Amino acid sequence: MSRANYLFTSESVSEGHPDKVADCISDSIVDLFLAADPESRVAVETLTTTNRVVLAGEVRGPASVDAHAMEAAARRVVKKIGYEQDGFHWENMAVDVHVHEQSADIAMGVDSGADKDEGAGDQGIMFGFATNETDAYMPAPIYFSHKILESLADVRHGGLTELGPDSKSQVTLRYENGVPVAATSVVVSTQHSAETSQDQVKEIVRAHIEKNLPQGWMSSETELYINPTGNFVIGGPDGDAGLTGRKIIVDTYGGAAPHGGGAFSGKDPTKVDRSAAYATRYLAKNVVAAGLADRCTIQLSYAIGVSHPLSLYVDFHGTGKVDPAVLEKLLYEVMDLSPRGIREHLNLNRPIYERTAAYGHFGRTPDADGGFSWEKLDLVDRLKSQF
């Protein structure tokens, strides 16, 4: 039996967090290749540390995207995030590029041929989730954790000099009868200038917490922890090394749903770690928006080089209004879930990935140029009509 009354917590990290700097750089490389050739193959990892960025991975794409172009992309991203500190500066940092051609063995399994369609880039399981507890069909704790940090980033980019790029948030909500009703604690740690006092930091941050949580969710009983360790002047990759793919729960549902384990950033859309996770979110969101369930988890599984999914599983968590087994069959009809089918349906072979690397891949607004296409609700009418 699922619980109705409980506390649940999720965290987020900003674009200036060391791991997110790495994710943003890796996805900028993906965009660089896809802009030059939509059929490029990219798997690039990034390491960030004190005044150094290291790129490594495998690619297949136009020769114009060389080491110099990748280095320039890394510097542009770091500058855009806002790092101009002694220990991490976009202009002064060393950038090492160790990127080579994609393995011929992997290419053989993935590429289409006369007798086979394009196969999955690897084996694995992918999960998508949606819930009607927020307008974005996202779990409330991770949704509001992102919103607080996005709000702080907006004012920083708008000219606020007291805060630095590196920050983290954590929101704990109380659920009653399965519905979030109040915040019991909020934690925000943010980098700041040496001249800014902790009282100033708390005043700035508290305003953004109050602005982004629903009215009435904060009370005298809500525990606030703003920079609980005190000084946070040294931050970003100078304070801690960062790696691509270490924030997969921040990227998805904040722990409110399962995760298959594969990271997204740095991978082109032939990699089902990314594209199939987007597809399952797309399907789950449309299922909930169609009123077929209040909560929906969808799992897909794949084998390397095989074009069709090995399994599809739907779980309504006791909130469904239709038979999940019937829906499983229908989902195969409303969307081609082969790697090629997903890419074409969601139009993923375009440079739309750098923007996904911070503040979550899900719960975002679809962009006019095709970004966040997996957040569209264009299957709702068809799903409704089938039931």
- Walk across the sheet containing 6-13 and list its strands: 6-13, 163-176, 179-192, 223-226
Q: Any known ligand binding at 246?
A: yes
Selection from 225, 156, 223 nearest residue 191 by Cα: 156
- Asked about 11 being catalytic, the answer comes back as no
Q: Any known ligand binding at 271?
A: yes
- Report the alpha-carbon distance of residue 276 to residue 273 in Å, rounded: 6
- Asked about 183 being catalytic, the answer comes back as no
- Asked about 267 being catalytic, the answer comes back as yes
Q: Any known ligand binding at 263?
A: yes
Q: Any known ligand binding at 275?
A: no
- Asked about 45 being catalytic, the answer comes back as yes
Q: Any known ligand binding at 105?
A: no
- Asked about 350 being catalytic, the answer comes back as no
Q: Any known ligand binding at 102?
A: yes
Which residue among 146, 156, 208, 246 is the active-site one?
246
Which residue among 60, 147, 156, 271 is the active-site one?
271
- Asked about 369 being catalytic, the answer comes back as no
Which residue among 273, 315, 354, 375 is the active-site one?
273
Which residue among 241, 259, 308, 340 is the active-site one?
241
- Asked about 19 being catalytic, the answer comes back as yes
- Asked about 58 being catalytic, the answer comes back as yes
- Asked about 384 being catalytic, the answer comes back as no
- Asked about 240 being catalytic, the answer comes back as yes
Which residue among 75, 147, 156, 168 is the active-site one?
168
Q: Any known ligand binding at 354?
A: no
How far, in Å, are 37, 223, 260, 343 from residue 59 at the CA level?
12, 47, 24, 18
Q: Any known ligand binding at 79?
A: no
Which residue among 27, 31, 45, 375 is the active-site one?
45
- Asked about 273 being catalytic, the answer comes back as yes
Which residue among 232, 316, 362, 372 is the active-site one?
232
Q: Any known ligand binding at 208?
A: no
Which residue among 19, 122, 238, 375 is the active-site one?
19
Which residue among 41, 267, 281, 361 is the active-site one?
267
Q: Any known ligand binding at 118?
A: no
Q: How many CA atoms lie within 13 A of 177 on its CB side?
A: 0
Which residue among 37, 58, 71, 328 is the active-site one?
58
Residue with tokens 């000099």: 161
Which residue among 117, 240, 328, 336 is the active-site one?
240
Q: Any known ligand binding at 267?
A: yes
Which residue among 20, 60, 285, 295 is the active-site one?
20
> Where is the binding site for K(+), in residues?
45
Binding-site residue numbers are 17, 19, 45, 58, 102, 166-168, 240, 246-247, 263, 267, 271
Residues designated catalytic = 17, 19-20, 45, 58, 168, 232, 240-241, 246-247, 267, 271, 273
Known binding positions for Mg(2+): 19
Q: Which residues are annotated as a binding site for L-methionine?
A: 58, 102, 240, 271
Binding positions for ATP are 17, 166-168, 240, 246-247, 263, 267
